[in-house]
Structure 1
Amino acid sequence: MKDVARLAQVSLATVSAVLSGSAYVSPELTTRVKKAVAALGYAPNTVASSLKKGATRIIGLVVPDVTNPFFTELVHSVQKRAREQGYAVLLCDSERDIEQERSYLKMLRAHLATGTIICAAGPDASYKDLHNDVGIMPIVTVDHIIRADDYDSVVLDNVAASRMIMQHIIGLGHTRVAIIAGQQHLVPGRDRLAGFAEALRGAGLDVVPEFVRHGAFNGNDAFDCAHALLALPERPSAIFATNNQMLIGVMRAISESGLSCPRDVSVAAIDDFPWAAAFSPALTTVRQPVDAMAEAAFNLLLERINGTNTAPKHLVFAPELVIRQSCVAPPAPSGLALAAQKAAAKPTARRAKSAGKAQLSDA
């Protein structure tokens, strides 16, 4: 900076004011400084400036799996907003490892990040000492809520998302519906399973324990779960995968089992993704408004960075059902299967009639 000041024949304060825009400088002096900067190829030392101010124009973004299309879109949307506001994004992929996640948060704090958006991967208990890792750095959570009394959050209405897709499946005539759920220590895992059960009960159907499997929100586990479901003596007529990566695992299991979707098994999932419509069949999904969620999270973070000190805000976004071709009415039972169903129903009907008489006499 001294060389710039010498060449432009101005003071260090004038050079600083021109480069930072912190004070008015006459057009003539501004031109001289800019010409000197160009001639010398000078670049401001942003690290030194950040150390002096105690802050940077960097925000952190911690996601559990950057290969998941949901998080890929979230990263793109956050980066777009950050760029528009003059911020850079430091992206960290925790790979669903809680210790790695903590390490990233400490690193972001040490590098004076002005705030961080985090898609947490751990159970609630993992974050009881979060303030020790992040200090006063503002935090906004997306997808999973942690420390609701302390930090803002942006999430999908996951119960409504499951209920929406299950009502569609049940409305087609399915009564044997399986779910491949995510981890129950995460809000999406818990709430999506709750919405599944709620929709079944609302239709007068029971939750069949062997139709509830846990795929940990990844394709390989979902493949194993779906393969086991399809091998049952009486397999489900529809499978609900609770995220996009598990949907891929389900489709692979159906194919490798020699079955066809939707002829033999209907499939639907939460999380739309760019190539869902390009599958054969095109996949029925529930879409999350990822761009709107990213914008809301970034705006909440900006409010905290700028000193807003209100109670934490919790924003919940509505899902959207996208009906394509992977869900159809269940196949009609064969002649033998239909006869077996009728035979099984007769004793039930007799027991129901006897129970009715007993209740009447007791009254």
Structure 2
Amino acid sequence: MPVVTLNDVAIAAGVSVGTASRAMTGRGRVSTETIEHVRSVASGLGYKPNVIGQALRRGSSNTVGMVVPHIENPFFAELIRAVESGLHDKGYQLIVADSHANSEAEEQRLSLLLARQVDGILVVPACYGQSAAAVGATAGEIPLVQLDRRAGENIADYVGVDNKAGMLLIAQHLAGQSVRTVQYVGGDDATTPGTERAAAFDEASREAGLVLVGSYRHQFTYETGSQAMSIQDPIPDAIVCGDDLIALGAFGQLKRAGVSVPEQAKLTGFDGTVLSTIVEPSLTTIKQPLEQISAAAIEALVRRILGHAPTTLVHEQFKPSLQIGGTTATQLGNPEASFTK
């Protein structure tokens, strides 16, 4: 069976070869209708583009690199999935690397992606401050967009969630559930979400009339939530966690200690990952709009790749939503509950 060429696709679709090429790569000026039509025709003919040949001719690899701090964290797994889908629609393939939340490893991963001649990089910085030099230097070499976190101020484009808005939603929800005392458990100042969410909840809790009786901050891990609950006695009316993974750790320790959620203590998370739905009762959490965030980050990156970027850095944050689950569903039954040691 003869190999189907781009010229065959163009003839069958009734367009020029140039238009067919732009439709297949998603680059240049071409309508959505034409893209869908040409790609449908190409699929029907069994056309398979020569990616290597395209890269050699255009000086482009049609690949984008992505560096995340913890690939096993469900939030980053879901973010990667959203990014991969969005990039595929624009004709790019994704290469993912894990920095293990280590700035030195992150610098190595960025260098490896540069050596692979990717067209651009999306990075969730490992640390605030420590990652700034490597991320900033890479942004000077290649189009780069920061996702979810920032390595520093004004060093590269950034797209993420509005952490302040999310914590305000949580505080207002708890205030409406007859909650009085709260504890915050979250990430430390090593990352911007760690800093921003803690500060945002401190402010939001005061505005909502809640009494913040304690704060435990370490890493965005299951262990952080578990450790925080193992040393907290008596428990407050509610525990507000900086992400779903921390909340899951807190939930496990509360359950082991014989504390009933939500009857004796309410519990909330942040991110809206699959973790929020696999516990019983389901977790009340802040749902990040990952599709919007990933789409905006991809758009910013592709604009830079194509040389159409604005003269100023992109700084875009999206409003999250409150996802109410069973962990805040009922009135408090025993606000004086404490751990069984």
Query: How does the TM-score come out when normalised to structure 2?
Result: 0.79
SS of the aligned residue for 1:154 comes to strand
Residues 1:329 and 2:331 aligned together? yes
Listed one character per residue, the Cα deviations across residues 283-312 of structure 1 (whole Å, up to 9, x for unaligned) are 111100011111111111010001024211
2:273 maps to amino acid: F
Cα separation, partners in 2 of 1:45 and 1:140, compared to 1, 3 Å: closer
Cα separation, partners in 2 of 1:219 and 1:53, compared to 1, 3 Å: same
How many pairs align? 300
Judge conservation of contact 1:216–1:222 (CA < 8 Å) in 2. no
Residues 1:291 and 2:291 aligned together? yes
CA distance in 2, matches of 1:190, 1:150: 19
* Aligned counterpart in structure 2 of residue 218 of structure 1, from 221, 228, 231: 221
Match of 1:77 in 2: 82
SS of the aligned residue for 2:141 comes to coil
Match of 1:313 in 2: 314
Residues 1:87 and 2:89 aligned together? no
CA positional deviation for 1:148: 3.9
Query: How does the TM-score come out when normalised to structure 1?
Result: 0.75
Residues 1:246 and 2:246 aligned together? yes
Q: RMSD in angstroms over aligned alpha carbons?
A: 2.9
* 1:144-159 alignment runs, 5 A limit: 144-159=149-164
SS of the aligned residue for 1:214 comes to strand
Cα separation, partners in 2 of 1:19 and 1:103, compared to 1, 3 Å: farther
CA positional deviation for 1:51: 5.6
Unpaired segments ≥5 residues, structure 1: 1-6, 9-14, 26-41, 338-363
CA positional deviation for 1:238: 1.0
Listed one character per residue, the Cα deviations across residues 23-60 of structure 1 (whole Å, up to 9, x for unaligned) are 969xxxxxxxxxxxxxxxx99582x7646654311101
CA positional deviation for 1:280: 1.5
Listed one character per residue, the Cα deviations across residues 228-287 of structure 1 (whole Å, up to 9, x for unaligned) are 11xx2x321211111011111011101111221112211111111235234221211110
CA positional deviation for 1:170: 2.3
Listed one character per residue, the Cα deviations across residues 114-151 of structure 1 (whole Å, up to 9, x for unaligned) are 00111111122431353434542111011112344231
Judge conservation of contact 1:215–1:222 (CA < 8 Å) in 2. no
Residues 1:271 and 2:276 aligned together? no
Judge conservation of contact 2:263–2:334 (CA < 8 Å) in 1. no
Cα separation, partners in 2 of 1:24 and 1:243, compared to 1, 3 Å: closer
Percentage identity across paired residues of the two chains: 27
Cα separation, partners in 2 of 1:43 and 1:87, compared to 1, 3 Å: closer
Cα separation, partners in 2 of 1:207 and 1:289, compared to 1, 3 Å: same
CA positional deviation for 1:159: 1.1
Match of 1:96 in 2: 101
Match of 1:202 in 2: 207
SS of the aligned residue for 2:308 comes to coil
Match of 1:171 in 2: 176
Judge conservation of contact 2:181–2:212 (CA < 8 Å) in 1. no
2:274 maps to amino acid: P
Moved more, 160-169 or 133-142: 133-142
Judge conservation of contact 2:186–2:216 (CA < 8 Å) in 1. yes
CA positional deviation for 1:207: 3.5
Unpaired segments ≥5 residues, structure 2: 11-15, 19-47
2:221 maps to amino acid: N
Between structure 1 and structure 2, the one with the greater Rg is 1
CA distance in 2, matches of 1:262, 1:204: 20
2:319 maps to amino acid: A
Instruction: Decide which structure has greater helix share.
Output: 1
Cα separation, partners in 2 of 1:133 and 1:264, compared to 1, 3 Å: same
CA distance in 1, matches of 2:59, 2:241: 46
CA distance in 1, matches of 2:335, 2:58: 72
Cα separation, partners in 2 of 1:244 and 1:304, compared to 1, 3 Å: same
Cα separation, partners in 2 of 1:206 and 1:282, compared to 1, 3 Å: closer
